Amino acid sequence: MKNILIIIVGFLIYQNGFTQIKRNPTKQTNLTIEINKNIELLGLVYFILFEGQDLETKTLKVEGKTLLKKEWHNYGFTIYQQYKSSVSSENLGKSLSVASHLRIEYISAFLLQTESVPQAKFSDSINKKYYLDFSKEKNIGEAKKNAEIFLNGLNAFSKEIDFDNYLTNSKKYYNKVIEEVQNGLPNTRFIKVMESFYKKKFDNYILIPSLTIPKGMGFAFWNTNSAEKKIFSVFGALDIQEFENSKNLKMGFLNQQKLRELTVHEFGHSFVNPTIDKLPANLLIRTEHLFIPIKSAMIEQDYINWKLCIDEHFVRAGEIIIADKVEGKSGANELLLEYQKNRQFKYLPEILIELRKYDKVKNQSYYETVKKIMKQLAEL
């Protein structure tokens, strides 16, 4: 019998400044789609601070066409126009004064542990891994203090710009986002395939599409310390957006192939990264010379060190094998070509040889296979 993936769809309800997700209680699945208020505010801040600077002049290529950056990030451009004067906000400045050294994915993971702005508060129940980096010296007392300063500033900023009003006025766009993700995700068994391949399961897989996170950006987090093991995947739009005509909205989340690839990729990090983290340190050191030939291409993609490159190689290798199982060899070969030739993930063939062997043996450990591959890479 064919396994069908049923999506629980979240609809936005605004009440007393909070964003709530209403789930359909009649359908049973471990995949949900949610809009997160904190992520939307963080995306807005990121966009006006970093993406907005050259929107009107810079060009980029999208599927062979040259576009102005503001045409590609057209929804983001409207955000920038509306809120660019808030860059000089004193409240925003206070918040960023303790977080300017942190990457957006780290802050996102932290904000997923708190209540929604403007009621976001620090709690000692939050695992320290989500806030320890607020201290550059990894001092837990300083980290807690800085995390509180960050949240207080962000709460005040959300009130200052009346963020609830933005969400209320944008409700039709966010409902369309939910609808597009629901319809764009193929009804395949890709989660079951991932769990079978990695020989590991999570209780919940949570997709968090965002209109303010820049297009093409995505990151994942995993929480295994609570009663339920959860994966979160946060991602921006994937395609051209049309939102001037409310009767014909296109919010850029309907591309089945891109949505499937991004979802498998980001969820894949939750399986792969903890495995790589357990490897003996000497294996990373012994393979570090392999970073030199691909360093320039990797840095262009924001993979600035060998550890990040290793994570990405194994995640992408897993994607290729899962694509083979779900879509067939043509889809897998297209991914391999894209990643190896166009994106310069040079060591995929060696990794794939051993992972395909591993996949055929029921009781073989993914960790032991990764360790074996790393020892082989050390000899290259």
> Domain boundary residue among 171, 206, 235?
235
Is 249 part of any domain? no
Name which of 55-64, 168-177, 312-321 the model is least confident about: 55-64
Are 356 and 210 in a shared domain? no
**Where does the pLDDT of residue 45 fall: very low under 50, low under 70, confident under 90, or very high at 90 and above?**
very high
Are 17 and 79 in a shared domain? yes
Are 209 and 311 in a shared domain? no
Residue 128 neighbours by CB distance under 10 Å: 12
> Domain boundary residue among 235, 258, 290?
235
Are 106 and 18 in a shared domain? yes
Residue 205 identity (one-letter amino acid): Y
Is residue 199 packed enough to be buried (19+ CB in 10 Å), middle (13-18) or exposed (0-12)? middle
How confident is the model at residue 29, as a pLDDT?
64
How confident is the model at residue 188, as a pLDDT?
58
Residue 118: pLDDT over 60: yes
Is 180 part of any domain? yes
Residue predicted with more confidence, 186 or 90: 90
Closest CA to 217 of 338, 31, 72, 355: 72
Three-class SS of residue 332?
helix
Is 262 part of any domain? no
Domains: count for the chain: 2
The pair phi, psi for residue 354, each rounded to 5°, is: -75, -35
Is 2 part of any domain? no
Are 207 and 311 in a shared domain? no
Sheet holding 31-33, edge to edge: 31-33, 204-209, 230-235, 218-223
As a whole number, mean pLDDT of residues 75-102 equals 96
Residue 64: pLDDT over 90: no
Is 250 part of any domain? no
Give per-residue burial for 83-118: e unless 16+ CB within 10 Å, then b.
beebeebebbebbbebbeebebebbbbbbbbbebbb
CB 346 within 8 A of CB 293: yes
Three-class SS of residue 280?
coil
Q: How far apart are alpha carbons 184 and 263 in whole angstroms?
A: 11
Is 359 part of any domain? yes
**Range of 87's domain?**
11-235
Is 364 part of any domain? yes
Length reported for the chain? 380
Are 66 and 125 in a shared domain? yes
Are 39 and 165 in a shared domain? yes
Q: How far apart are alpha carbons 302 and 93 in whole angstroms?
A: 25
Residue 21: pLDDT over 70: no
Q: What is the Cα gyration radius of the chain?
A: 21
Q: How far apart are alpha carbons 259 and 19 in whole angstroms?
A: 24
According to DSSP, the residues that pair with 62 across neighbouring strands are 65
pLDDT digits (tens, 9 = 90+) for 325-344: 988 898 899 999 999 999 99
Residue 287 neighbours by CB distance under 10 Å: 22
Residue 337 identity (one-letter amino acid): L
Is 242 part of any domain? no
Find where tokens 């994607």 sit: 319
Closest CA to 325 of 196, 181, 218: 196
pLDDT digits (tens, 9 = 90+) for 213-270: 999 898 888 876 666 788 999 999 999 999 999 889 999 998 887 888 888 898 999 9
Are 282 and 144 in a shared domain? no
Are 62 and 149 in a shared domain? yes
